[in-house]
Structure 1
Amino acid sequence: MKEFIQILAEIVNNIHDFILLFVSDTLNSNATDKDLHFWIMGIIGIIIFLFVLFLSNLISRMRFGITILSFLYTFTVMVVLVFAIEIQQALTSRGNMEFQDAAVGLWGFIVFFLVFAAISSLYLLIKKFFKQSKKR
């Protein structure tokens, strides 16, 4: 996994240098590295935001929309967390940085979420059954 992150870092660095050279040379701009980060991250962020907004509006119209949105948000946070832990292990040499550790950690969240969903569904079914019984 360490090699994979190093390859990704190299790709990002090459893209960074290319954009900086393009902006400086082609556009004849005196943009600094900070200017580049401001514009590129701003553009990437607003594109992601618009996509998430569209997707959230679509999902919120579904029966379990808020549950799905909560799951997606939590899953996103969990992805960041497990990879941050793995990177921290590589930087501090405390533990082994392995992709499989991250995958297993995410799998643990999915399993616990499925158990939660099953228990919640069972609760809602029982509640619905008793409501119908009282109406009779």
Structure 2
Amino acid sequence: MDDSHLDDSRLEEGRRPGATLAPAERGATRIADRAVAKIASQAAREALGTLAPDAMPPHAIAVVHQDTARVRVGLELDYPADIGARCAAVRRQVVQRVEALAGMDVAEVAVLVERLHLAHVPGAAQGRTR
């Protein structure tokens, strides 16, 4: 019977079965675009706080290349409001959360305001008028 397949003398020192490898030698971790997009969507919701009752929640698309993400967030805002300040808050929160949770740099966060919701004014007409 040939026991050469059991001979572990050919293995490098520290590479014997059951030996603990340094973290950098264990493999690679890849975080999918979709996972980064979910983190970004949640971060945008956190930054915006309470939304108008008929507003759609923010949604995001992410593209990851190595350890860098580019994110596009679509959202709806109340009007009147400081749109620039709200978008800046979303950008900051998305960058902070993606860096903290995914451990990657964020090269760009593009915010697209898709719709504005007029703040409810007592006595104002609701819906379309003809």
Normalising by the smaller structure, the TM-score range is under 0.3
Structure with greater strand share of residues:
2
Instruction: Point out which structure has higher relative CO (alpha carbons under 8 A, 6+ apart).
Output: 2
